[in-house]
Amino acid sequence: MTPNGIPQSSPEIVDLTHALIPGEVPACAGHPCYNASLSFGISKGDFANVHTLTLGTHTGTHIDAPYHFFMDGATVDRIDLSLLSAASAVVADLRTKAFHECIVWDDLQTAAEEIEARHVRVLLLCTGWSRNWNKPNYSKHPFLDPDAARRLFELGVRVIGLDTMSPDKVTDEEETADVHRIFLGSGGIIVENLTHLEALIDYGWKHITVSLLPLNLAGCDGSPIRAVAWEGTQ
């Protein structure tokens, strides 16, 4: 295993999802804290094990649907699932980006060329910041320049996924939302709190396919997902 917990040999499926462990899931201020508790337990003499969950639409690895910021935007049950199901993806290697550093268009040149050549609609931004999951500095991640977000949409990108809690800059004083507004406002989808994106680069996979499917939560603005990737075109 590497320090990131990534197996050194390439597996068939890479899990890009943080495990949800009660008390170990960071949440934005005011969002519900994750919990899972046994309502029925075989060890207590019950017929089966059944958990009760407490979570929000932005708990752990999740997607933001346009309705997150726009009343007339698509809710999570109405988004185009072809964008999130067995979809080709490009990964941008941004591991040199530091605390609160901006990711600008120049940083995305290699990824942009591949997106354009292969008409890929999913871009994953690998900052390596998931190593700070549930640490005090998790919110101090690199962030995306709003103009770069606009250009990515114009290039054909419809899903931006990150290994941070937001594509926007988050400080103790304020949480900005320019990239959210530009990308969701254009009908795009944002995936947050991914992990193990490094593996997709380090394994040297030529063509990456991802599944990022949400729960079918009627009328909701986002949903936890189980994000996975594999090599190949389907």
For residue 111, give the 3-state DSSP assignment.
helix
Which CB atom, from 59 or from 132, has the smaller least distance to Zn ion? 59
Q: Per DSSP, what are the bridge partners of residue 89?
A: 122, 208
Structural contact between residues 123 and 152, judged by C-beta atoms closer than 8 angstroms? yes
Using CB under 5 A, list all residues that contact Zn ion.
58, 64, 192
In angstroms, give the least distance from the CB of 68 to Zn ion: 7
DSSP assignment letter at 34: P
Structural contact between residues 138 and 172, judged by C-beta atoms closer than 8 angstroms? no
User: What distances in angstroms separate CA 174 from CA 56, 139, 169, 171, 216, one per listed residue?
Assistant: 21, 11, 9, 5, 31
Alpha carbons 90 and 25: distance in angstroms, whole number: 27
In angstroms, give the least distance from the CB of 166 to Zn ion: 7
Name the token pair of 42: 């075989």
Q: Per DSSP, what are the bridge partners of residue 53?
A: 36
Q: List the one residue out of 185, 195, 196, 220 whose CA is nearest residue 70.
A: 185
Which CB atom, from 93 or from 192, has the smaller least distance to Zn ion? 192
Alpha carbons 168 and 76: distance in angstroms, whole number: 21
Which CB atom, from 13 or from 28, has the smaller least distance to Zn ion? 28
In angstroms, give the least distance from the CB of 20 to Zn ion: 15
Which CB atom, from 58 or from 141, has the smaller least distance to Zn ion? 58
Which CB atom, from 112 or from 124, has the smaller least distance to Zn ion? 124
> What contacts 214, CB < 8 A, 6 or more positions away?
62, 63, 65, 76, 79, 84, 222, 223, 224, 225
